[in-house]
A and B are shown apart, each in its own frame.
Chain A
Amino acid sequence: MWARVALKGRAIDGETHEARRELQTLHYIPAAPRLTFPRSQSDKHCESSNCSATMGKKYNKGRGGSGKRGGPKHTAKATVKKGSKARLARFGKIAKQGQSGINSAYMTRGTILRRLQLTLKDFRRLCILKGVYPRDPPKTPTAGKDKVYYHASDIQQLAHEPLLKEFRDFKAAMVKVRKSVGRKDIDRARSRYEEAPQYDVHHLVKERYPTFDAALADLDDALCTIALFATLPAAGRVSPEHTSESKKVLKWWQQYVAHSHSLQKGFISVKGVYFQASIQKHTVTWLVPHSYTQDVPKKVDFRVMLTFLEFYTAYVKFVLYKLYKESGLAFPPATADTTSQFFELVGSDHEGPLSGLSLSLRREASYSWLDFAACSAGARIVDEAECTHIVADRVLKDIDSNKEHVQPQWVIDSLNAGRAKPCAPYQPGGSAPPHLSPFVEADDEEDSDSEDEADAPPSPKPEKEAKDMAKMLMSKKAKRLYGRMQHGRERKQAAVARLRKRRELLAARSRQ
């Protein structure tokens, strides 16, 4: 039975052996210096010598017992009193076994579960909510290379988490509910269920993001998750409350972004629509999936996803509360269901690339994100009778010559360009210019282009020769590093060159 339970737990957690292996191979590479765990000499001593069980204590400055095994042997004079300052100065403090060193600093998940007396499920929830993650130890602990290790200080935090008690209380309450149900005492069961302790993650938001700045810097994943849940079908573990709450929060966020005129870029991709906003000097990027029914693979464990959603919803709501308060708006805002109400909240005096224009979205082009993008760009969404531009996504039969007709892409392209693009190339039903990603630095490609052009007439010979000769004097290490850097650069340039060649070929074909 235990085997079954263990297997079940593993499968549910989505942490099969292979997956864990794969995950271990990933290394995050942020741009901060790497830390090494400080080691004292005593650790080395412990690992090199066979510490016998009787040798319960070790000395940091083991001068007295140096070179002698089988326990600390004091060679202090009899006149030196035990515990005196002189003795401390001579021998150092007594260090207990297992309090320092790599094996006490890093522990495996199994050890943690045993020490904290947690189930895997609770541990996972705690880790997600508290943002505790495994760390790559600087050297391999004794448990082996095929394990995932957590740092003891992170686990120390987990151990003092008030949520632990709340989880236990809730579990105890549920036991009582089950008992009442078993006795068919439904009323009592119901009241016990309703009275069961509730927990919230508010203190964790403050703990993980001590400053508002830190909170703004980490919004990307939260918004992406919320936007995904807003489009998920409410089935299985995903309840309608999850979906509606996500929709609500996403809407509030979009309203704030539109109100603060902070939307910078948009990009219609095959995965959905990316938006990038600059909120108080922080760049926030989120992806709104296309509004179709999402495929939900069976492999996806929604308990993990819902725990993330739980934290992210609370976190984004707190951020929104602060943002709304700072811009003098009421939070939560009045429900703005229709586009016009949404627009009223945004305000009409906004100077943007589309300011002064009024759009009307045809039925097939009425996406909620398009409203948002258009309003953020300064346009107004009105009825078709009084609009200047009609946004449609199919061939139009009744063309009003007084109005411009454009595809939805025109709105996003105008937003990225910072001005209203000409409407003629964006006729509905026809072909439109290619939609380019605004996240690719424009000068990246231009640079490489210009470099390539510079390469075409080879650089002045003496300079190249001088550089070749300077390379002769590089050390082997530097030469190798330089070669690798050049290799990466050349690969990138080769890809750009391949694309340009293809573009020219296609252009030549189209001319024919």
Chain B
Amino acid sequence: MPKPSKSKKGKGKKPPPPPSSSSSDAESSDSDDERSYEDAPRTWGDAERAQNSEQQRESGALQQLKDQALDDLSSDDEDAGNATGRVPTHWYEGYDHIGYDVSGSKVVPEKPLDGLDLAIEADDGEGVTVYDKLNGRNVRISKRELEQIRRLKKGAFANPETEMYPDTYRSSVIETTPLHNAPEPKRRFIPSKWEGMRIHRLAQGLADGRLRTREENRRLRKEARDPERRFLEAAASMWGPEDVEDPSGRRKGPLPVPAPKLKLPGHEESYRPPAEYCVDDEGRPLTEPEEGQDFVPKQHDSLRRVGVYEKGVQERFERCLDLYLCPRKLKRRLAIDPESLVPKLPDPRDLKPFPNALCRSFIGHTTAVVALDCSRDGQWLATADDSGRVLLWEVSTGKLIRETAVPGPLSALRWNPHLEHHVLAVAGKEGVYLVDTRTARGDDREATKALLEGEDDEGVIEQRRDAEVVGVWSTLQQEPCTIVKCALAAPARTVAWHARGDYLATVSPDAIASMQCVVHRCSRRSSQAPLKRGDKGGQIQSCVFHPSKPFLFVASRTTVRLYHLARQELVKTLRSGCKWISCLAIHPGGDHCVVGSRDLRLCWHDLDLGEQAHRTLKYHDKALRAATFHPKSSRYPLMATCSDDGTVQVFHAKVFDDLTTNPSIVPVKRLDVSSPKGCLDCAFHPTQPWLFSGSADGSVKLFHAL
């Protein structure tokens, strides 16, 4: 059924009451001119517009408006005076006309109304007069025209009745003939059963609470989205007393690494730090700025002057970046007391006696004392210096007994270990010298004499590989003391006696390889070179006899080799790892030896163990010069080393018979010999825990045990 048009429907029904009062309604029905501008509708809603047109229709004003609108169509542009087009008006300034009309005659402008005229015009309240500058005319705009302008400016049609989309499709005529001839079905007249059932079901559901209306649903959804409510629901069941760290217990992978906390601020971050934290006199901060510290400590005179910290946001941002971007790793932090790293040593006072105090200085040398040794009975001390003087001192008094001149710069000196032989072996530039000390009494004098007696050799030594002559023996002098010389091919560096006091070994590093180590037999005045080949470890530096077995220790630059003299074979090689061995000492027990080196090391070798050093110590600041054991090691388990740094280090070095117990090496005393040039040799007293030291500045000192 076609919908009746709005106008038709409007005729039959009473329009809804207008919002304004009935009196104003009556007034407005006369003419729209009577309505004031203020009362005129400012917005043109559809309802209001319909209502407005209804009123106008009833009052006949609509027809009037339509007529007027028709009038409006006749534009007054036709009789517009000025036809010059878009020509700037100022071109006509200075002329009495302002352009030309269609017929080509001049358009002379009217004079615009002045203020007084305008005031008079405004007084009648029937519109306004404006000056049309283009045509040079005063134009009267009525109240109705003003209204139209206002409507147009708002984007509405000038005529309120105009419809934008006239419904041309609606027919005002109801067709009498139907389109089909079928009778109306029954269902048009009775209520639908299925719809009824459905409605019943819906009503039942709503009543039961099974169903909810759309509004109800919307409200519930909104409630469910309420963050406050969601928070409270979650918070009620968040943490309980039965919570455990890993509820599933199935977490795989590495442990979680918690981020470290930020460092807490120190005094320098205070707004009013102590004065010493601020800059010093030169303007430099006194404390080193911490990692990431971006401010200079400054004393603010009041809190309100501190101001904002510029880096605050940046620092927090960087912390955030660290928290989620920075790779984390568990690292073991060393939480140990540094003092626990220092080994606990027995108290040196429990290990007494050992030489610990200067007892006496032996004054007489002017050049460096290169070697010293004490006689086996402990009464005498022999010292040798660079210039070739060998001095004999009485130990108990410090008195210089005798001075003997031996040719050459000397390098080593050893007292014969046999008690009856009062003989010194001195290594010099030309060879080795045996010097009678003339300290023998009674039968010893004969024994000493017998040792030094013999026939002189003839001939000279040549440095040849096939040379058969190793040493040339001769008696240098008989009075005042006997000196026997064994000339060698190269300067002797070290000298070592065999325990019986007949054999003597010397080392001449500068000789050819086979002649570097020479063994002499004093009673027969014979010399032989037991090593026919050189050593891979470089020049031989030192050699020593084993105290009880027929072994010879030969130290090259890097290794110590142990030869069996009777079987003439290599027994063992000791590799200490030193770069340049300087000295070698054998423990009187014969099972241990120490090796001192120019690269500051002291290596303790246990001959029963492997070829590596049992213990390596590094404590001197300069090269080691000599190492020595106390001859009575069972009573005084002492060892000493001296070094170019001018100190002598005394150890309590106890060796156990038990094979499973390691020797205990305990440093007990650092003796300062007060020699800047260094200490060149040291030797223990044979019967007392005393130590002699000879220095490069010519001083000889005796340290005794307090």
Contact = CB atoms under 8 A, between A and B. Distances in A.
A293 interface: yes
A472 B650 CA distance: 12
Contacts of A5: none
Contacts of A272: 309, 312
B270 interface: yes
A153 to B, nearest CB: 3
Given A15-B325, A136-B328, A149-B327, A407 B309 contact: no
Nearest to A148: B327
Interface string A250-286: 0000000000000000011111101000000000010
B88 interface: no
Given A135-B257, A499-B286, A365 B303 contact: yes
Contacts of A495: 287-288
Contacts of B344: 470
A439 B307 contact: no
Given A136-B327, A439-B264, A470-B344, A297 B313 contact: yes
A34 B316 contact: no
A200 interface: yes
Interface stretch (B131-139, B241-249, B505-513, B688-696): B241-249
Contact of B345 (A135, A436, A473): A473
B235 interface: yes
Interface stretch (A91-99, A374-382, A427-435, A450-458): A427-435
A460 B155 CA distance: 106
A141 to B, nearest CB: 12
Nearest to B342: A470
B interface, how many residues as a size bin? 35 or more
A329 interface: no
Instruction: Tell which of A156, A393, A469 has the most Cβ of chain B within 10 Å.
Output: A469
Interface string B304-331: 1011111011111101111111111111
B238 A133 contact: no
Given A210-B246, A268-B270, A30 B338 contact: no
A295 B309 CA distance: 8
A228 interface: yes
Instruction: Tell which of B255, B264, B325, B342 has the most Cβ of chain A within 10 Å.
Output: B325
A466 B345 contact: yes
Contacts of A462: 348
Contacts of B221: 195
A228 B316 contact: yes
A364 to B, nearest CB: 6
B333 A432 contact: no
B480 interface: no
Contacts of A364: 304
Contacts of A503: 274-276
Interface residues of A, number: 122
A434 B252 contact: no
Contacts of B244: 210-211
B326 A26 contact: yes
B207 interface: no
Interface stretch (A42-50, A352-360, A477-485): A477-485
Interface in B428-451: none
B353 interface: no
B561 to A, nearest CB: 27
Interface stretch (A82-90, A217-225, A396-404): A217-225
A211 B245 contact: yes
B194 interface: no
A37 to B, nearest CB: 7
A49 to B, nearest CB: 27
B321 A481 contact: no
Contact of B348 (A322, A466, A474): A466
Interface of chain B, main secondary structure: loop
B342 A322 contact: no
Nearest to A109: B325
B331 A506 contact: no
A494 B210 CA distance: 81
A135 B328 contact: yes
B231 to A, nearest CB: 7
Interface stretch (A63-71, A161-169, A170-178, A301-309): A301-309
Interface stretch (A16-24, A51-59, A336-344): A16-24
A305 B316 contact: yes
A202 B313 contact: no
Contact of B267 (A151, A198, A440): A440
A80 interface: no
Nearest to A127: B324
Interface in A463-512: 465-474, 478, 481-482, 485-486, 489, 495, 498-500, 502-503, 506
A210 B332 CA distance: 26
B75 interface: no
B127 interface: no
Given A195-B221, A506-B275, A437 B270 contact: yes
A431 B299 CA distance: 10
Interface string B276-305: 110010000011100000010011111110
Nearest to A506: B275
B269 A212 contact: no
B325 A472 contact: no
A101 interface: no
Contact of A202 (B230, B259, B310, B331): B230
Contact of B308 (A131, A268, A293, A407): A293
B315 to A, nearest CB: 8
Interface in A143-198: 148-149, 151-154, 156, 195, 198
B267 A436 contact: yes
Contact of B323 (A149, A221, A465, A471): A221
A419 to B, nearest CB: 20
A31 interface: yes
B303 A268 contact: yes
B292 to A, nearest CB: 11
B330 A35 contact: yes
Interface string B349-363: 000000000000000
A322 B345 contact: no
B253 A151 contact: yes
B668 interface: yes
Contact of A292 (B238, B253, B308): B308
B319 to A, nearest CB: 7
B341 A478 contact: yes
A15 B320 CA distance: 12
A29 B266 contact: no
A409 interface: yes
A198 B260 CA distance: 33
B239 interface: yes
Given A218-B258, A495-B288, A20 B325 contact: yes
B12 interface: no
A393 B308 contact: no
Interface of B: 221, 225, 227, 230-231, 234-235, 238-239, 243-247, 251-255, 257-262, 264-267, 269-277, 280, 286-288, 295, 298-304, 306-310, 312-317, 319-335, 338, 341-345, 347-348, 617-619, 665, 667-670
30 contacts: A15-B321, A27-B331, A28-B259, A35-B254, A35-B330, A124-B324, A133-B323, A135-B328, A153-B252, A153-B253, A203-B234, A210-B245, A210-B247, A269-B265, A270-B306, A271-B265, A271-B269, A271-B315, A318-B239, A436-B267, A437-B270, A439-B264, A473-B617, A478-B341, A482-B341, A482-B342, A498-B286, A502-B276, A502-B286, A503-B274
